Chain A
Amino acid sequence: MSAAKKPPKGDGLLPKELVESWSKIGYGLGALGVAAFAAGMLGADQARFGAAYLVGFMFTTTIAVGALFFVVIQHLTKAGWSVAPRRIMEWLSQGLIASAVLFVPLVVMAPKIWHHWMGEHAAHDQVLVQKQGYLNQPFFYARAIVFLVVWALLATWFYKLSREQDSTGDRKLSDKLQVAAAPSIAALGLTISFAGFDWVMSLDPHWYSTIFGVYIFAGCLLSSHAMLALCIVRLRKDNIGGNLLTVEHQHDVGKFLFGFVVFWAYIGFSQFMLIFYANIPEETVWYLHRWNHGWHVVSMGLFLLHFIAPFLMLLSRTAKRDPRLLAAGAGLLLFMHWVDLYWLVMPNFDEHFHFQWVDIAGLLAPVGVTAAWLSKRVLADPVYPLKDPYIPEALKAENL
């Protein structure tokens, strides 16, 4: 009933100063990342750097996959409210192109990272011999290529058509994206699940959990929404995005973020409870490695800071609408997402929980390269889809 709202005036581009400062941060992180990578590769403990790099690679890749998932699902459901947040997620999904390149060091370090099943001793391990049909190197790399190519192509294509619509405003482009969204969502669901099995679960090749892929997927959604919430808070601070990026849209993203906090905990607990309750040694050993020798601090930290604290922080309506509270919750979740991946990977390399500087180097390298790539790729583009046919719907979004 309120007066008709209009989309923001102008070309939708980020202000020059912001582009400059963000580029500086992006390229700065890039330089830092390359330096960290060199230091890690030349460092004493290359196996440790390989593991840390895998954690960092999974960190940037899961955020980008989650972002791509968001983009696809908005098209699939013909969502109206999400026009401006969708563009930010399209930006984040471009990180998948960097991920395809960032996988190369993993290939180089593979014998050190996945040595549990790639090493010599695997030939004498009865369990691994039986798993060879799936867990062998040619098939492993072929799958990795499929995952990375599918992601990079989908991210590029969904963004390309969205950018095309910025100039033409062609309704047919939306239809095309909506039709493509259904098979894309299936492809994404399968690829991220199997990527989780291949890259993370196979670090402990005797152990298996059918829900593991969903757990990685939950991390994708949570981390990408945390990143989106941070971006929205920052853009709204300078009132960029106008009527398309109001407190109502921020509130909606906050609700998703809160929901995925619960989803992550639900999946994590589902995996834990079945294993804990059934008490079968070949399954419980995975949690035992994450409980003994100091790892219980990280395990309990995950429970308290990845679930309880953000749950209570983001529960109220006030928190989702307050930029500072939402950013605090999102920042905490982003950090805890890294801890979560660290907790999945590191106990396979070190029975004792020892934090080392190479762990940070392994994070900085992929984050820096992805940040620099995103600075180059997206910052000059409009911050919302300029002529999306759903803009009138997005303008009307409100939370009662």
Chain B
Amino acid sequence: MADAHDTHESEVVLPEPDKGELWGMMGLFDTPADLYHAAEELRDAGYKGLDAMTPFPVHGLERALGLKPTPLPFLVLGGGAAGLASGIALTWYVNYDYALNISGKVPFSWHIYIPVYFELTVLLSALTCFFATWALCKLPTFFHPTMRHKSFPRTTDDGFFLTVDATDPKYDSASTRKLLEKLGAKEVEEVHS
């Protein structure tokens, strides 16, 4: 993505938006309700690549956008199972490798290791949860094409954006723009990476 402007950049102006590959379309709404209804309309029209940017969480928006449930719970379950297995392996190995007689307990009396199993299960679940969240959210991301929209800063203040990914099979510059504008979107723009 060599860009002519990169060589003589000014302080705040980003590279021209129409130079890179097409990323998708953005529409600005003034209220969460407008955004919610527009998202429902687009979802019902068959769009799959929808996303939204809001200054605060909007309840039920993930359903209006038709987002798929996150695979996070299954990853965490896997992390927890791995933690439990590692706890059992650890306590079994140290008993087998260097058995100590502690208060008359038989080697590998698993009852007293339950805190170890519990802690390792929780530890690996929590770490999996933390890092998988970063990975699934593609963090850290320092630049995203949507930032090129001139009203993008309003997403942290009073702007509600609905975005349509260009990879969506239903995406069409003219008809998607028409539909968004019909639903009340302002400043509808295509952004490029």
A contact residues vs B (CB 8 Å cutoff): 1-2, 269, 272-273, 276-277, 279, 315-317, 398, 400
**Contact, CB under 8 Å: B115 / A277:** no
Complexed CA–CA distance, A132 and B61 (Å)? 65
Q: Can you add 6 more A-B contacts, CB < 8 Å, to A1-B60, A316-B73?
A: A1-B58, A1-B61, A273-B115, A277-B103, A398-B60, A400-B59
Instruction: Check B58–A272 contact: CB distance below 8 A.
Output: no
Complex interface residues of chain B between 68 and 102 (CB less than 8 A to chain A): 73, 77
User: What is the count of residue pairs linking A and B with beta-carbon distances less than 8 angstroms?
Assistant: 28
Asked if A273 meets B114 with Cβ closer than 8 Å, knowing A1-B33, A400-B62, the reply is: yes
A-chain residues with CB within 8 Å of residue B73 when the two chains form the complex = 316-317
Give the CA-CA distance A2 to B36 in the complex, in Å.
Answer: 9
Chain A residues with Cβ below 8 Å from B58 are 1
User: C-beta contact mask, B14-46 vs A, less than 8 Å → 1, else 0?
Assistant: 000000000000000000110010000000000
Check B135 for interface membership: any CB of A closer than 8 A. Answer: no
Contacts of A315 in B (CB 8 A): 77
Q: CA of A270 to CA of B156 in the docked complex: distance in angstroms?
A: 47
Find chain A residues with CB under 8 A from B112 CB.
273, 276-277
For A316, the chain B residues whose CB sits under 8 A away are 73
Q: How far is the CA of A276 from the CA of B109 in the complex (A)?
A: 10
Closest residue of chain B to A396 (Cβ to Cβ) is B59
Write 28 A-B pairs (CB below 8 A) sorted by A numbering: A1-B32, A1-B33, A1-B36, A1-B58, A1-B59, A1-B60, A1-B61, A1-B64, A2-B60, A269-B114, A272-B111, A273-B111, A273-B112, A273-B114, A273-B115, A276-B111, A276-B112, A277-B103, A277-B112, A279-B103, A279-B104, A315-B77, A316-B73, A317-B73, A398-B59, A398-B60, A400-B59, A400-B62
Which 7 interchain pairs have the tightest Cβ spacing?
A1-B36, A1-B60, A279-B103, A276-B111, A277-B112, A2-B60, A1-B33
Cα distance A398–B62 in the bound complex, in angstroms: 13
B-chain residues with CB within 8 Å of residue A1 when the two chains form the complex: 32-33, 36, 58-61, 64
B: which residues have CB within 8 A of A?
32-33, 36, 58-62, 64, 73, 77, 103-104, 111-112, 114-115
Give complex CA distance A317, B69 in Å: 11
- Residue on B with the closest CB to A276? B111
CB of A290, distance to nearest CB on chain B (Å)? 14
Shortest CB-to-CB span from A283 to chain B, Å, is 13
Q: In the docked arrangement, what's the CA distance between A289 and B98, Å?
A: 32
Contact residues in A for B33 (Cβ distance below 8 Å)? 1
Which residues of B sit under 8 angstroms from A272, Cβ to Cβ?
Answer: 111
CB B156 to nearest CB in A, in angstroms, measures 20
User: In chain B, what residue has the closest Cβ to A1?
Assistant: B36
Q: What distance in Å separates the Cβ of B79 from its nearest Cβ neighbour in chain A?
A: 14
> For the complex, what is the distance from the CA of A154 to the CA of B129, rounded to whole Å?
43
Contacts of A279 in B (CB 8 A): 103-104
A2 to B60, CA, bound (A): 8
Chain A positions within 8 Å of B114 at CB level? 269, 273
Which A residues are CB-close (under 8 A) to B32? 1
A400 proximity list for chain B (CB < 8 A): 59, 62
Closest CB-CB distance, B72 to chain A, in whole Å? 11
Chain A residues near B103 (CB, 8 Å)? 277, 279
How many whole Å from A301's CB to the nearest CB in chain B? 16
Q: Point out the residues of chain B lying under 8 angstroms from A398, CB to CB.
A: 59-60
Closest beta carbon of chain B to A54's beta carbon, Å? 29
Smallest distance from the beta carbon of B118 to chain A beta carbons, Å?
9
- Whole-angstrom distance from the CB of B173 to the nearest CB of chain A? 29
Report how far A277 CA is from B114 CA in the complex, Å. 12
Q: Compute how far the CA of A53 lies from the CA of B45 in the bound complex, rounded to whole angstroms.
A: 64
Q: Which residue of A lies closest to B35 (CB)?
A: A1
Q: How far, in angstroms, from A272 to B114 measured CA to CA in the complex?
A: 11
In the bound complex, CA of A98 to CA of B104 (Å): 49
Bound Cα distance A398, B59 (Å): 9
Q: How far is the CA of A12 from the CA of B111 in the complex (A)?
A: 50
Neighbouring B residues of A269 by C-beta, 8 Å: 114
Q: Which of chain A's residues have a CB closer than 8 A to the CB of B77?
A: 315
- Minimum C-beta distance from A121 to chain B (A): 32
Report B-chain residues with C-beta under 8 Å of the C-beta of A317.
Answer: 73
| Shortest Cβ distance from A266 into B: residue | B118
Bound CA–CA A277/B59 (angstroms): 49
A277 / chain B contacts, CB cutoff of 8 Å: 103, 112
Residue among A1, A269, A315 with max Cβ neighbours from chain B (10 Å)? A1
Tell me how far the C-beta of A267 lies from the nearest C-beta in chain B, rounded to whole angstroms. Answer: 13
Residues of A within 8 A of B61 (CB): 1
Name the distance in Å between A302's Cβ and chain B's nearest Cβ. Answer: 14
Q: How far is the CB of A145 from chain B (nearest CB, A)?
A: 40
Distance in angstroms from A286 CB to nearest chain B CB is 15
Determine how close the nearest CB of chain B comes to the CB of A313; give it in whole angstroms. Answer: 14
Q: For the complex formed, measure the closest distance between the CB of A318 and the CB atoms of chain B, giving whole angstroms.
A: 10
A188–B110 CA distance with the chains assembled, in angstroms:
36
Q: State in angstroms the CA–CA spacing of A201 and B114 once bound together.
A: 26
A276 to B111, CA, bound (A): 8
Task: Give the docked Cα–Cα distance between A277 and B60 (Å).
Answer: 50
Q: A41 to B43, alpha carbons, bound, how many Å?
A: 68
How far is A80 from B103 in the complex, measured between Cα atoms in Å? 51
CA of A282 to CA of B115, assembled, Å: 24
Min CB gap A45→B, angstroms = 35
Chain B residue at minimal CB-CB distance from A279: B103
A276 to B106, CA, bound (A): 12
CA distance A279 to B112 in the complex (A): 12
Residues of A within 8 A of B36 (CB): 1
